[in-house]
Structure 1
């Protein structure tokens, strides 16, 4: 009978080495897959937040400059002819436009700082869903304000008649801002304006985009706001560290490099103000 023999020491060492190599490869693949999944989740969260805020802003800003005097639901407790003229001619109010709220209006944030956007319209509620004492389907002069508070993009609505000193504010939270999106690093706005009075072009095409601090002079010259361009820089909901942090250029601003070394994504949209365009085109009739 043949004598049985086991594995030699060299064979065992080779087997252990191959096993360790295989185990290390499997662990490396698992680590890589986990990192990829985290990046994908971060990108998905940033993409979802960006699409949400762009969709919401677009839906609300499309109504800028709307005022229908023939609406059966219009509250007529004030001179609606004068009010309609104000909304149609001032779709984007600036500081000094409101009789009883001189500080309210669209504001250019300066170098690197976020902007403040303010728009006026006829609606049944403000950007927070508040009606300021009006009936459920009653339309009134609404003014919405959008601004960045820390890393939260917030909105706040006003009764335009209160800002004009025509009535007293109703409700104890009329000046309270609601957060519509967290983890926002920057909020920038530009305004598309038409040619001035010296030009006979009544097509209501935006010929250039300017910041809020240039709107006053443009309006004096006869230009009209017919578009709003918005850009936001959103931080992903993740603890992934990005080093070095990339820079982002939002509209006319200098490149922005976030101090937080996380994943960021930039979103932009241009909203054409159809109510303002229709008002300008009606001059041809």
Structure 2
């Protein structure tokens, strides 16, 4: 009787070690892909947040600041509790509000931040509500003299609105809320403003083209010399959501300020725009040289 001996074979030690090594390589590659996807997702989220915030705030500021100096004394919706001719002359000659323009509210106005800190811009116009959407006691369909001020507090770009007649002491505040500010956008690293001014004597014509762009602290002397602001140039540096690892973080130069070199592991993006104040330009064009 023949005995059959079945020969049993298994994996050798070398084969097991090769299999483990290949498994480790594949696992490492999968982990690397997952980590890379996570970093990419965070970067994309940060880019999306800064783009969305930047587009929003630039559009918002453009739509509101472009109306500086607007005053139509013939408008059927204008509140006429005061003489519209006299008030219109004042508004059109003071489209950019400066600190001290209103004795009882001396802090309201456009100002230059010290040593590269954030600037502040304040504009006047006739509108149906202030920058917060408040009517300040006026009728639903009424327009009134509005002063809107934009500034940074902490890392938030905010605005607060005023009834211009209250600021000038011509009216007692109605619907007053202590001029509380509202936040327009978060994660603002820097907010800078320059003002393009014209002077019919310097330009030699009534083109109302900007002669130069200056900071807010130079405006009082320019306006006293028959100049007027006809354009506003804005620059905003925003910080994205969440930490992002970025090699060689770029430097950002906002308008006339010293370049900023962020040190945080975040994505930063700069937005700029120049706004022509068409109401003021038309007013300056009507002046004689």
Same fold (TM over 0.5): yes
User: Is 1:159 aligned with 2:191?
Assistant: no
**DSSP-derived class of the 1:276 partner:** helix
Call closer, same or farther: CA 1:222–1:45 in 2, change over 3 Å: same
User: Is 1:46 aligned with 2:50?
Assistant: yes
Q: Which runs of 5+ in 2 are unaligned?
A: none
The correspondence for 1:229, drawn from 222, 225, 233, is 233
1:5-154 counterparts in 2 under 5 A?
A: 5-154=9-158
- Counterpart contact for 2:159–2:182, Cα < 8 Å: yes
TM-fit CA distance, 1:201: 2.2
The correspondence for 2:216, drawn from 209, 212, 218, is 212
> Which deviates more from structure 2 when the two are superposed, residues 165-174 or residues 117-126?
165-174
- Counterpart contact for 1:127–1:157, Cα < 8 Å: yes
RMSD, aligned α-carbons: 1.9
TM-fit CA distance, 1:284: 6.5
TM-fit CA distance, 1:246: 4.0
TM-fit CA distance, 1:12: 1.6
Matched residues in 2 for 1:248 and 1:66: separation? 34
TM-score (norm 2): 0.93
How many aligned residue pairs are there? 285
Matched residues in 2 for 1:83 and 1:100: separation? 18
User: Is 1:180 aligned with 2:184?
Assistant: yes
> Which deviates more from structure 2 when the two are superposed, residues 64-73 or residues 202-211?
202-211
- Counterpart contact for 2:79–2:142, Cα < 8 Å: yes
Larger Rg, first or second structure (1 or 2): 2
Matched residues in 2 for 1:174 and 1:269: separation? 31
Matched residues in 1 for 2:70 and 2:258: separation? 34
Matched residues in 1 for 2:265 and 2:206: separation? 48
Q: Which runs of 5+ in 1 are unaligned?
A: none
Aligned counterpart, 1:240: 244
- Counterpart contact for 2:97–2:122, Cα < 8 Å: yes
**DSSP-derived class of the 1:111 partner:** helix
